[in-house]
Amino acid sequence: MVFPALAYPTYDVGARLAGASSVPADGLLTLGPATPALVWINTPGNPTGQVLPAEHLRKVVSWARERGVLLVSDECYIELGWTTEPVSILHPDVCGGSHEGLLALHSLSKRSNMAGYRAGFVAGDPSVVKRLLEVRKHAGMIMPDPVQAAMVAALGDDAHVAEQRERYSRRRTALKAAFEAHGFRIDHSEASLYLWATRDEPAGTPPRTWPHSASSSHQATSTAPRAPTTSASPSPPPTNASPPPSPASPLNRPPPAPTPPPHR
């Protein structure tokens, strides 16, 4: 499974739980001749706020279909575009009207402030969705009726989404002004809840970068190397293992070992 080099850690953890090799990559060209089983993309991105344009997405869809790779797009922030309008991988301008080999993942956590409900949905290739439904049913992962009813209500009401969006917008504006007043440059913030702020330091000092969220007025900052652009092409990682994590970046540290549940 391939996922963005700078990304939400669940992609990597999901691959490990499935017994698959997880490969972070800044671009598909870094994979060389390797053909993964699944490729994650995230647009708008977490934690950079970067949006992949329709032209770029078309190329990714074409690449995946040529190789028979399942392409999954995390679009949980798609309704939070600021300086550009995010587009879904399932949009006809991207996929040519066919959802074959494509999945789009959506969530009510941010658009409706319903993170505690663990409510979302996946849409796309009917054959893949059918297999997911079967697996979830037999694994006992069936969503309760009250949560489904709450989802129907939330998805049928746009007024609260506009209110939530305005709340995020005010926080984003305040954060952006504060960072820029202290000499930071906002490299990405086209959409989502995040600002990717960088300040140039004297020669020989690594740049300091803070991904910061507008979802809360009290968010902790973290230190990480500057985000690479999507056109970067570093040496490809091995296809059978993840590269060693960088000690300078808490985003790249491997997840802690799971704690076994207590005996009951």
Cross-strand partners of 42: 74
- pLDDT(118) > 60: yes
Residue 191 maps to a domain: yes
Residues 6+ apart with CB under 8 A from 39: 1, 2, 3, 28, 60, 64, 69, 70, 71, 72
Distance separating alpha carbons of residues 63 and 110, to the nearest angstrom? 30
Residue 179 maps to a domain: yes
Q: What is the mean pLDDT of residues 78-99?
A: 95
pLDDT score recorded for residue 54: 96
pLDDT score recorded for residue 197: 87
Residue 136 maps to a domain: yes
For the chain, how many structural domains are there in total? 1
Residue 157 maps to a domain: yes
Q: By percentage, how much of the chain surpasses pLDDT 70?
A: 76
Residue 249 maps to a domain: no
Distance separating alpha carbons of residues 222 and 248, to the nearest angstrom? 11
Distance of CA 141 to the CA centre of its chain: 22
- Which pTM does this prediction carry? 0.74
Residue 232 carries which DSSP code? -
> Could you report the per-residue pLDDT of 175-232, keeping only the tens digit for each?
999 999 999 998 878 999 888 888 877 666 665 555 555 554 333 333 333 333 333 3
| Alpha helix stretches (DSSP H) within the chain | 10-17, 54-67, 92-95, 126-138, 145-155, 159-181
Residue 173 maps to a domain: yes
Cβ count within 10 A of residue 216: 9
Find the domain containing 185 and state its range: 1-241
> Could you report the per-residue pLDDT of 228-252, keeping only the tens digit for each?
333 333 344 444 444 444 444 444 4
- The DSSP string of 5-26 is SS--THHHHHHHHTT---EEES
Residue 261 maps to a domain: no
Q: Which of 221, 189, 204 is nearest to 80 (CA)?
A: 189
Distance separating alpha carbons of residues 228 and 188, to the nearest angstrom? 11
Structure tokens at 182: 């202290």
Q: What is the CATH number of the domain that holds 41?
A: 3.40.640.10
Dihedral sign from CA coordinates of 8, 11, 14, 20: negative
Angle at 184 between CA 178 and CA 189, to 5 degrees: 80
Judged by DSSP in three states, 28 sits in helix
Residue 23 maps to a domain: yes
Tokens 């706020």 sit at which residue? Answer: 49
Q: Are 146 and 116 in contact (CB under 8 A)?
A: no
